[in-house]
Amino acid sequence: MISGSVVILKKRYKFMKEIYFNYIVWTKDGKQKLTYGHWMDFDYSKLHRLDGPAVEQANGAKHWYINGKRHRLDGPAIEWSNGTKEWWVNGNWLDTEKMESWLKENKVDLSEPEGQMAFKLRWI
């Protein structure tokens, strides 16, 4: 079992401050490791995973990265433990309210290839 501490975040969760906890990371070389330290000291350019989150925090938060950039096409790139979600594509933040409204209005299912294609055409 991994243990961790409370995450302290600023508005829109874009800037993390004073975060110390255990977390699991996946890197470009395919290695998984459990580490402890200050989140801001980590080399983000090494984060990479195609089949799931590149970072899994002890508190349940998950972060998807491809080639060091926050990125996910089949859901939010960040799922915080409190239920908050953030949408990112190629390292660019997308407004969550607009994203979720668009998904609902257009009845897009991101678990389906057609939904992922619609997402790409609209947001990339």
Cα 11 from Cα 93, distance rounded (Å)? 13
Structure tokens at 81: 């433990």
DSSP-based three-state secondary structure for 119: helix
Higher-pLDDT residue of 9, 34: 34
Q: Is pLDDT above 50 for 4?
A: no
Give the start-to-end residue ranges of the domains of the chain: 11-92
Amino acid 35: pLDDT: 54
**Is the torsion defined by CA of 34, 29, 16, 101 positive or negative?**
negative
- Residues present in the chain in total: 124
pLDDT in the model for residue 55: 83
Indicate the burial class of 4 (C-beta count within 10 angstroms; 0-12, 13-18, 19 or more).
middle
> pLDDT, tens digit, for every residue of 47-104?
888 888 888 877 888 999 998 899 999 999 999 999 999 999 999 999 999 989 999 9
Whole-model pTM: value is: 0.69
